[in-house]
Amino acid sequence: MRSTIRQLLIAGVPQVQGRVYEPHAAGANTQKPYLVLKEGVQDPGADWAAFSTVIEVWPHVARTTFQQVDAIANAVINTLHRARFSEAGEQYLADYIGTASQDFVDDEWGVITRGLRFRVFALGWLNGFTYDPDPVATLRNWTTTTFPELHTDPATWSPTDTAPGVYWRLIRLTPVQFNAAVNWIEALFAGHVLAPSAAVRLTWVRKLTEGLVKQRRLIMVDGGPLELLKVVADSEADPIRRGQIQLTARFGVLQPTAQALVLGKAVVGGAVSGEVI
């Protein structure tokens, strides 16, 4: 993954003229400016820690002005933030999450620098389907039918402002009611609206929320209802880690049909073998 990120930085940050190094490869005599790429530290308990890696990019420039650091840092962010790339058949998405430090002067190496942190998500977690009748597939189909301009398949999307990506995932299942014919399960879903522009994300969060409120009920592939009970939207929620929409819905699971059991064989009339139920 780091080799692909390195190539993205070489192509996207011309100021460093291809000088993108791992920490052990740079030193006091390295030609400036250059970038140092390394793996960062993340909290194992953080959201998506199991599906992501934190990387840090440190622009190093000669001891002149921090404006040069700012210019290179902006180029790095523009290159990696929301960048989607693949390596060895795996899909990844990078997300800028802030600085790793304040502006720093290294007197020994004669450079000024600042660390930039990115979380790189392995997109395998976007495969949220289970089996039919799948409520997640039902939500995805409704989204595609109602808003055909949206992309809902993470395997092929590249979210843009004109074609944002929407990802639905199942968070929690809670059995809530049982009877002889059907068991009712309450489900909590998260909706992730992905687009470069915050204004576009806000617009689509509202459109999706209002659309679900008006819909009230969806039909799953087996003909059963997915009842939409409650929808909450938070436009300030992180679109990747948490998702801006939370939907509570209910669907039924039919009880299996009772099957008559064959108890065994018996001799009827003394000579005819048969089965009795």
Of 221, 212, 163, 157, the closest CA to residue 190 belongs to 212
What is each CA distance from 62 to 33, 39, 151, 224, in whole angstroms? Answer: 7, 24, 44, 66
pLDDT of residue 273: 54
pLDDT in tens, 110-121: 899 999 999 888
pTM over 0.75: no
pLDDT score at 259: 59
d(CA 211, CA 206): 8
Please give the pLDDT value at position 103: 85
pLDDT of residue 241: 77
Please tell me the predicted confidence (pLDDT) of residue 262: 58
So what's the pLDDT on residue 204? Answer: 97
Residue 260: what pLDDT? Answer: 54
- Cα separation, 183 vs 252, in Å, equals 5
Which pLDDT belongs to residue 167?
92
Asked whether the beta carbons of 117 and 54 are under 8 A apart, the reply is: yes
Which residues of the chain fall below pLDDT 50? 272, 276-277
